[in-house]
Amino acid sequence: NAGVTQTPKFQVLKTGQSMTLQCAQDMNHNSMYWYRQDPGMGLRLIYYSASEGTTDKGEVPNGYNVSRLNKREFSLRLESAAPSQTSVYFCASSDLGGGGSGANVLTFGAGSRLTVL
């Protein structure tokens, strides 16, 4: 039972380069999320997908794009990386998609540490 798997675990980019962070979950969850974690800032939501075929912006979407490829996979793309995007990125999933009913417990991946020079 892998849960939420993120790749790569570490990546170093130069300013202006592009890359995609991959995320896959094997729990048949409807919803998936991308957060970034910065010192003293906690976790901030970048994008989320309430269900397959839908994506929505979170608190800090600028500079990122996402694709919900299928129910299992949710990728995060940086088209032109900037030093401000140096961060640890977490993918998460949950078994709740919209409606606001019930508690939304997230399962997190181990994180992807990205450095932009």
Partner 1 sequence: AQSVTQLDSQVPVFEEAPVELRCNYSSSVSVYLFWYVQYPNQGLQLLLKYLSGSTLVKGINGFEAEFNKSQTSFHLRKPSVHISDTAEYFCAVSEGSGGSYIPTFGRGTSLIVHP
19 is an interface residue for partner 1 by CB under 8 A: no
Measured from the CB of residue 39, what is the shortest distance to partner 1 in angstroms?
9
Three-class secondary structure of residue 72 per DSSP: coil
Planar angle of CA 11, 15, 19, nearest 5 degrees? 45
DSSP-assigned beta bridge partners for residue 105? none
β-strands 4-7, 56-57 pairing: unpaired
Work out which of 45, 51, 63, 75 binds partner 1, going by CB under 8 A.
45
Three-class secondary structure of residue 21 per DSSP: strand
**How many residues in the shown chain lie near partner 1 by CB under 8 A?**
27
Work out which of 1, 28, 62, 101 binds partner 1, going by CB under 8 A.
101
**Binders in 62-91 for partner 1, by CB under 8 A:** 90
CA distances from 61 to 9, 85, 91, 106 (A): 21, 11, 14, 20
Work out which of 11, 17, 20, 43 binds partner 1, going by CB under 8 A.
43
Which is nearer to partner 1, 49 or 85 (by Cβ)? 49
Q: How far apart are CA 58 and CA 102, in angstroms?
A: 20
Q: Which residues bind partner 1 (CB under 8 A)?
A: 4, 33, 35, 40-45, 48, 58, 90, 92, 96, 98-106, 108-111
